[in-house]
Chains A and B, each alone.
Chain A
């Protein structure tokens, strides 16, 4: 499934420089080093963190996209940073668990 395919399922795009990227699996976490240690390349990463380091981690750990759950908002200046660093960011209005369950259904 491509990252851009999520837009048809209630996810909202915040930064989508590479919507064609394929999602392979999901990782959930807010502790950044934990995410870097455990997330796999091409995972969709669900978090509620919205600071600039999230963008760096997503870029370096090479996740396919960041999904901000609970409808949390990314500050505007960080959206620009995400686009510059070619990091896909989407928002789900649902809580983390429901977001994960929805992704599980879409990816299976």
Chain B
């Protein structure tokens, strides 16, 4: 693989049934590329958490995954409400999810912490009222 591979997905908002489609497809693609199960797992979980966040908080968005020989870059962009306090949002257990979201098993306040846990770098670019872009790298 010399040219980077780029996968683009639109993430539906308010749809928990289809949430995870992008990360499942990425998992399949990475498996076909012969990457290690550990790398695939880390990328899949980080991306799924991002997808779920976009569904819960931002009425959807886009997910781009770029695969090179050195790293996998995941860019999640939405036009949601933005994150007023990133430091607080990064704390395990902090969540603004509603009770109905919690009844589905989400809203544990582990989304962003898990994205950080499973990637090598995580950058959050957010503005209240404008949206959020999260860029993550997993090095190969």
- With A41-B38, A60-B27, A85-B24 in contact, is A36–B45 under 8 Å at CB? yes
Chain B contact residues: over half helix, strand or loop, or mixed? Answer: helix
Chain B residues, Cβ within 8 Å of A57: 48
Task: Please report the C-alpha to C-alpha distance between residue A45 and residue B63 in the assembled complex, in whole angstroms.
Answer: 28
Chain A residues, Cβ within 8 Å of B16: 51-53
Task: Please report the C-alpha to C-alpha distance between residue A31 and residue B97 in the assembled complex, in whole angstroms.
Answer: 13
Chain B residues, Cβ within 8 Å of A59: 24, 27, 44
Task: Please report the C-alpha to C-alpha distance between residue A62 and residue B37 in the assembled complex, in whole angstroms.
Answer: 9
Chain A residues, Cβ within 8 Å of B104: 32, 51, 53
Chain B residue nearest to A34 (CB atoms) is B108
Cβ–Cβ contact A37 & B27, under 8 A:
no
Binding site for A on B (CB under 8 A): 16-17, 19-20, 23-24, 27, 37-38, 40-41, 44-45, 48-49, 52, 104-111, 113-114, 117
